[in-house]
Amino acid sequence: MKTAIYPGSFDPVTNGHLDIIRRASTMFDKLIVVVLINPLKSYSFSIPERVGLLSKVTSDIKNIEIDSYDGLLTDYFKQHNVDVIVRGLRATSDFEHEFQMAHTNKDLNPDAETVFIPASANTTFISSSMVKQVAMFGGDLSKYVPTVIHEEISTRLKAEFERQLNRK
């Protein structure tokens, strides 16, 4: 049995992430999607919110588990008997950072192999930060995030933007 892990911020999950999740779930017996905390980043959605959104958009996928972790990916990898780390690659601009992370993870745990899945042509330009910008200015998110969470994300981000404006 092969278990893969797809780690990320998912702040929030987009159609690009979901595309990688669906494709990876057909390649492995079990796929764990784990929301990780990067202390150097600031987030718009809380961990429970991001886990909740991921659970909603993947409810039809049988061999998936959604989790969160506030430690090193390689520790989670070891504790859960994971075989492979999955990451998505959108463009050469992703490559340098992803390559460095893959090497770091392998250095921390020689068993931690990373597999890169290329973004699909129709989702390659989508990122969580682009979704956030579009939503905050009231733009239509329907092509960028799964329909089932599109309303929730738009409302939540518009409210956050209002709060930010009021603070200025």
User: Considering beta carbons, is residue 36 or 136 the nearer one to ligand ADP?
Assistant: 36
Helix or strand holding residue 125 (H, E): none
Residue 90 bears catalytic tag: yes
Query: Quick check: 21 and 45 in contact, CB under 8 A?
Result: no
Residue 163 bears catalytic tag: no
Which residues of the shown chain bind ligand ADP in the complex (CB under 6 A)? 8-10, 14, 16-17, 20, 38, 87-88, 90, 94, 119, 123-124, 126-128
Residue 156 bears catalytic tag: no
CB of 166 to ligand ADP, least distance (A): 28
CB of 120 to ligand ADP, least distance (A): 7
Residue 97 bears catalytic tag: no
Out of 9, 25, 128, 154, pick the active-site residue.
128
Tell me whether the omega of the peptide bond preceding residue 110 falls within 30 degrees of 0, making it cis: no
Out of 30, 50, 87, 90, pick the active-site residue.
90
CB of 56 to ligand ADP, least distance (A): 16
C-alpha distances in Å from residue 110, one per residue of 77, 78, 98, 114, 142: 11, 11, 17, 11, 41
Q: Shortest CA distance to 86 belongs to which of 70, 56, 71, 64?
A: 64
DSSP bridge partners of 118: 89
Give the CB-nearest residue to ligand ADP: 16
Q: Shortest CA distance to 84 belongs to which of 167, 1, 10?
A: 1
Query: Going by C-beta distance under 8 Å and a sequence separation of 6 or more, which residues neighbour residue 143?
Result: 15
User: Considering beta carbons, is residue 88 or 154 the nearer one to ligand ADP?
Assistant: 88
Out of 41, 62, 163, 168, pick the active-site residue.
41
User: Considering beta carbons, is residue 40 or 165 the nearer one to ligand ADP?
Assistant: 40
Q: How far is Cα 69 from Cα 36, in angstroms, rounded to an integer?
A: 5
CB of 110 to ligand ADP, least distance (A): 21
Which positions are annotated as active-site residues? 17, 41, 90, 128
